[in-house]
Amino acid sequence: MKTVCDEQFQRECIAFAFRFSCLDCEHFLVDTEACEHGYPTDDHRETPLAMTTFAFCKDFELAE
pLDDT at 23 > cutoff 70: yes
Summarised one tens digit per residue, pLDDT across range 36-58 is: 999 988 877 766 666 777 778 88
pLDDT, position 48 = 63
Q: What is the mean pLDDT of residues 7-32?
A: 90
35: β partners = 28
3-class DSSP state of 2 = strand
33's CB contacts (< 8 A; 6+ apart) are 41
Residue 47: per-residue pLDDT: 65
Tell me the pLDDT of the chain averaged across its residues.
85
